[in-house]
Chain A
């Protein structure tokens, strides 16, 4: 344990590491504050109120609409929306009047989005689709979700999925618990929106911090003393791995919990037990999970991703003895798939869907449709990512140890 502490100290005594840790802290606070400030409430005068007060007022406005999304409740939303759309403020050419009208819609705006999503075209979002509905359409809400998907699967996405995969997706949509229970989840929405960027920054920073753990002895010519010591080729190698894992773990969890604390603390953590299909951010997902479960998947997926990239950096550092080379590998593996995803190469999507960078953006994976067929068993990308990369992390630990302990000092 003492050696692990010294290894951690060695990392954080470097100016570069101190700057990296400071960047992490600044990014966390910045992301937290930006998320809180991005939400707004429109008062009865049409004025925007942002920040914590805006979040609280918005939550209060949405509270009366909390409950199961039954046909009656959906019909009420459609009816209320129609009346509001016919109001002088909504029809006015004056933007302030429009804002006043929007202010009256805020309470049920999330449900309107769900309706637009279900009744609009599946492949693109039609914001005004809900405005064209009649109260009778409310009865068809759950059926329409499945119909939209089915139509998309057999037209625009026909060649993309096998019959078994199409059947799987339809089945998943049909399996959604009915009626969905709605509760406002704006805090979670902001957190899930922020998470991919934050986790990507953390993965790069963790890679940077641990990149020198194995190469510093060579860099500072301390390798001869290190490897000729009693623990040099056993316990000290393990301590270096332990230090790397500890640094990635501490940086990741401290940053994520702090950012989550700021966002949820300021904006509220309501809606955690609702299904993600009851929220606009998860309405098209085929993963039937709750908001709280999505949060856990993002947290643990992100951790697995950060740890994988950190271990990869450590492996390169142990093998090459170069911190610079080590730090570039995670950077390339994170950015290259994002570059490749913009190129239309057949079948590439499926490969990109299971690359480790996906773990850094679980909220986006949950909204994607990458499916994999294992001897007739169809699974989404997420279960594969959550099994393969933690397993690879476990494999990397002894590999790094074996490579480093056999270092030859010339």
Chain B
């Protein structure tokens, strides 16, 4: 299976949300990393046939997905960023309804709903109305609905937004488990969501890919070194202004900083292993806010 995104462009009035985007997915987890407004959601919506590109084409094994229509959507699972739900449906009813929309026969839907509720830990709340669920539980229902038709292509837009750290880890593991033999495109602006599970990461900025590759390739691509050092609190504003600072940790008399720089920023700075977060910061620093790592 080969999903090709070929020179996609989508504009909303004067704003170009996706700008000549190209990429190819075969199998495994593809992490789409970018700051808010980078065009991730628009790209995913095009991938889910919700929006047609103004220019370019998305093909599955050579066939245009918009021409394929239902036969493409049959193998698609989508968890949108703003995951909506029918407030008065119970969890089970909601999943059964989505099962019907996905064309599952009632008996098959019932079985799949049972399995997925078990897998996502929703069995205990199956009779509860959707509006009564916590944010985490709603997200679980979201991933369950996306998986109902056992999709070959799974598109997850910010799936861990609003989840606590425990839930985020559980979710990450679940996605990793689900990724076997399918294409998963996972969009996020939380680096740790994809760092450990993505086979390939696309860094997206201003509607296009600025960098792509495995975590290792991305780390290798960074031309600068990551340093850790201790500094006097009074020096911190100067360092933040001068360098890209990926972490600041305050201690009683001094501050520990993680700095991305070609040259050694201070005398006692020690080079350390770069993380994906450092790479993210390196490429998207200007979006993080005018050198103001400090509040």
Contact = CB atoms under 8 A, between A and B. Distances in A.
A227 to B, nearest CB: 6
A236 B87 CA distance: 19
Contact of A225 (B49, B51, B93, B145): B145
Interface in B69-96: 69-70, 73-74, 76, 78, 80, 82-89, 93, 96
B217 to A, nearest CB: 31
Interface string B15-31: 00000000000000000
Interface stretch (A6-14, A309-317, A328-336): A6-14
A236 B88 contact: no
Contacts of A409: 45, 50-51
A409 to B, nearest CB: 4
A9 B103 CA distance: 18
Nearest to B148: A229
Contact of B84 (A3, A9, A223, A228): A223
Interface in B236-286: none
Contact of B49 (A221, A228, A235): A228
Q: Majority SS of interface residues in chain B?
A: loop
A182 B12 CA distance: 72
Given A10-B86, A231-B70, A410-B51, A224 B101 contact: no
A220 B145 CA distance: 16
B87 A220 contact: yes
Interface residues of B, number: 33
Contacts of A9: 89, 93
A241 B9 CA distance: 34
Interface in B103-119: 103, 106
Nearest to A220: B84
Contact of B88 (A13, A228, A232): A13
B102 interface: yes
B80 A225 contact: yes
B84 A221 contact: yes
Given A220-B85, A408-B50, A410-B45, A226 B69 contact: no
A73 interface: no
A375 interface: no
A6 B90 CA distance: 12
Contacts of A228: 48-50, 73, 76, 78
A216 B50 CA distance: 17
Contact of B102 (A221, A229, A410): A229
Contacts of B84: 217, 220-225
Contacts of A408: 50-52
Contacts of B83: 221, 225
Given A228-B76, A230-B74, A231-B70, A220 B86 contact: yes
Interface in B48-66: 48-52
Nearest to A6: B97
A235 B73 CA distance: 13
Contacts of B93: 6, 9
Contacts of A222: 84-86
A234 interface: yes
Nearest to A217: B84
B80 A10 contact: no
Interface in A208-224: 216-217, 220-224
Contacts of A345: none
Nearest to B103: A230
A224 B48 contact: yes
A223 to B, nearest CB: 7
Contacts of A13: 86, 88-89
Contacts of A104: none
B101 A410 contact: no
Contacts of B103: 229-231, 235
A233 interface: yes
A28 to B, nearest CB: 26
Given A6-B100, A224-B78, A230 B85 contact: no
Nearest to B12: A410
B86 A231 contact: no
B218 interface: no
Given A216-B86, A220-B85, A225-B84, 14 more contacts: A10-B88, A10-B89, A13-B89, A220-B84, A223-B50, A228-B78, A229-B73, A230-B70, A230-B73, A230-B102, A231-B70, A233-B69, A408-B50, A410-B51
Q: Shortest 4 CB-CB distances between A and B: which pairs?
A: A221-B84, A13-B88, A224-B80, A409-B50
5 contacts: A10-B89, A221-B84, A228-B50, A229-B102, A408-B52
